[in-house]
Amino acid sequence: MSFELTEDQVAIRDMALSFARDELAPNAVEWDQKKHFPIDTLRAAGALGMGGIYVSEDHGGSALSRFDAVVIFEALSQGCPTIASYISIHNMVAGMVDNFGNAEQKAQWLPKLCTMDWLASYCLTEANAGSDAAALRTRAVRDGDSYVLNGAKQFISGAGSSDLYLVMARTGEDGPGGISAFLVPKDTPGLSFGANEHKMGWNAQPTRAVILEDARIPASALLGQEGMGFKFAMKGLDGGRINIAACSIGGAQAALDKALTYMSERKAFGQTLDRFQALQFRIADMATELEAARTFVHRAASALDAKSKDATRLCAMAKRFATDTGFEVANNALQLFGGYGYLADYGVEKIVRDLRVHQILEGTNEIMRLIVSRSEIGRMA
């Protein structure tokens, strides 16, 4: 594994950084304050190939690697972690359709998803089935050439604005083996949405419940075969976890850069803040921790690309480490601003609020520890 980006990867990173600098960063605070979901900006990202990052070229995708993807998501998050994270979720759905869909499904959905003319949401979590996702109760019942879905999904990013919902629903017995995956368009009768949640962060993307009341979809909406949904969901989450880890690194890097700029200008006791050795040591620790997290995420992404047997364990490790590190670095950056860091004007408090949820979603960091510990214990059995 090389620790240097290739020439192509540098070009991809620079493209994403330019988009983050020009399209995301200038608007991030306003979008957060107004709870504005910038659909036109998302479609501009789609036009640059960011709607189907690891989707095959046959259906309009960019056909990039998972390593390339984490480079992109880190760069995008330097402009706005909220929007970068939604693009990650959208790509998770598009990637699952590409990996597990049949030819008709790929032809029907992927071209629209890759351009982000259609936006997508991932619907696994329920009010009583968060960390214990295999306990979900949403049910799909076969009725002739259709399935009828009933249930509700909670904490769904993009809900109400997205055009396609990848819904995990129970078609069989209790447990993971009874779960199937369905592609549900927004205009499906019986599909509705709860109120936009009031959240600590991630305000530039809507979060709503997805409600299914006798929602009838054609049998052709089943992704793969019955009983395969939970396996699909977990495979999707391996990639989602390293994406969100990369988003944490990018957000934290932006916070650190803001702090460095501030410290070079702000004076106290006759010198700028960046001249104080105690603060220099803190900067050194923050930069070191971020570099360690970045290296770990690159390692996990490489394992996922190689289809390594250790990929799930490494993705869980990287997600736990990078999201904890990212939040801590952003929080320390806010401290370096003093009272100004607590004001919205500088954008640092928004980054802190946005990154906090990364320790919860795509599997809480407690669940990441459970995955890792089970792997370690099993290795010694």
Residue positions annotated with a catalytic role: 362
Tell whether the torsion through CA atoms of 28, 258, 67 and 157 is positive or negative.
negative
Measured distance CA(99)–CA(56) in Å, rounded: 9
Q: Return the biggest CA–CA distance within the chain.
A: 79
**Interaxial angle between packed helices 66-77 and 7-19, expressed in degrees from 0 to 180 and rounded to the nearest 10:** 30
Q: Are 204 and 32 in contact (CB under 8 A)?
A: yes
Q: Measuring CA to CA, which residue among 232, 163, 237 is closest to residue 193?
A: 163
Cβ neighbours around 142 below 10 Å, total: 12
Burial of 211 (0-12, 13-18, 19+ CB in 10 A): middle
Question: Which of 250, 166, 158, 252 has its CA nearest to residue 202?
Answer: 158
The burial of 139, by beta-carbon neighbours within 10 Å (0-12 exposed, 13-18 middle, 19 or more buried), is given as middle
Which contiguous run of DSSP H or E holds residue 36? none
Nearest to 232 by CA among 290, 154, 169: 169
Burial (0-12, 13-18, 19+ Cβ within 10 Å), 200: exposed
